[in-house]
């Protein structure tokens, strides 16, 4: 099951050329670009591991593409997302976030139903991969 979250998630995965142009757009707006990765795809897992600090003071997308290449090399079977933070007063929040790498194989989520008091149904989604320990969830890497 293909994970969809963030911008462009219903489009085919962006090519490097397209990612690079998105990054340049963010940099031209003066936003700080940040890379994060995880192997826990649950939609409520908002805290992904940071790939270094957010990249402040960078002017050209190529510098960030080289960081992305390095992150992909080390975490070649994780989700990687790219986000950009706008520090402008009153914004002070993320302006864009999208997935720039996904594992080759995405098993998806299990939906469990538990009957609670009064025949209420409680739903739970759980990623199949989280049964394995962190770092061993996708392929043999990570």
Partner 1 sequence: MPETMTDAPALGETVDLRAAFDGAGIGEVLAGLERDLVGLRPVKARIREIAALLLVERVRQGCGLATEAPTLHMSFTGNPGTGKTTVALRMASILKALGFVRQGQLVSVTRDDLVGQYIGHTAPKTKEILKKAIGGVLFIDEAYYLYRPDNERDYGQEAIEILLQVMENQREDLVVILAGYADRMEDFFTLNPGFRSRIAHHIDFPDYADDELLAISESMLARQHYRLSPEAGAVMARYIARRRAQPYFANARSIRNALDRARLRQANRLMAAPQPIPKAALTIIEPADLLASRVFAAPAADGSD
Q: Is 29 in the site for partner 1 (CB under 8 A)?
A: no
* The only residue of 2, 21, 29, 59 in contact with partner 1, by rule CB under 8 A: 59
Q: Is the dihedral of CA 55, 60, 63, 67 positive or negative?
A: positive
Q: Length of the chain, please?
A: 142
- Which are the contacts of 101, defined by CB distance < 8 A and separation ≥ 6? 37, 72, 75, 78, 79, 80
- Cβ nearer to partner 1, comparing 84 with 129: 84
Q: Is 40 in the site for partner 1 (CB under 8 A)?
A: no
Compute the distance between CA of residue 23 and CA of residue 33 in angstroms, rounded to an integer: 7
Q: Is 21 in the site for partner 1 (CB under 8 A)?
A: no
State the minimum distance, in angstroms, from the CB of residue 17 to partner 1: 15
- Which are the contacts of 89, defined by CB distance < 8 A and separation ≥ 6? none
Stretch that binds partner 1, among 59-67, 75-83, 91-99, 120-128 (CB under 8 A): 59-67
State the minimum distance, in angstroms, from the CB of residue 90 to partner 1: 26
* The only residue of 17, 46, 47, 57 in contact with partner 1, by rule CB under 8 A: 57
Q: Is 32 in the site for partner 1 (CB under 8 A)?
A: no
How wide is the angle at C-alpha 101 spanned by C-alphas 97 and 107, nearest 5°?
A: 110
Number of residues that bind partner 1 (CB under 8 A): 9
Tokens standing for 81?
Answer: 């997302």
Binding residues for partner 1 (CB under 8 A)? 55, 57-60, 62-63, 66-67
């Amino acid at each position: 099951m293909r994970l969809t979250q963030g911008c462009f998630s219903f489009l085919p995965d962006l090519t490097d050329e397209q990612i690079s142009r998105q990054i340049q757009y963010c940099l031209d707006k003066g936003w700080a670009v940040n890379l994060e990765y995880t192997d826990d795809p649950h939609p409520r897992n908002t805290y992904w591991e940071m790939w270094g600090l957010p990249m402040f003071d960078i002017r050209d997308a190529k510098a960030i593409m080289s960081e992305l290449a390095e992150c992909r090399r080390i975490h070649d079977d994780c989700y990687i997302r790219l986000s950009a933070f706008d520090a402008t007063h009153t914004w002070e929040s993320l302006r864009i976030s999208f997935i720039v790498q996904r594992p080759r194989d995405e098993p998806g989520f299990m939906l469990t139903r538990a009957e609670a008091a009064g025949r209420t149904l409680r739903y739970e989604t759980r990623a199949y991969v989280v049964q394995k320990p962190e770092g061993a969830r996708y392929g043999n890497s990570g």
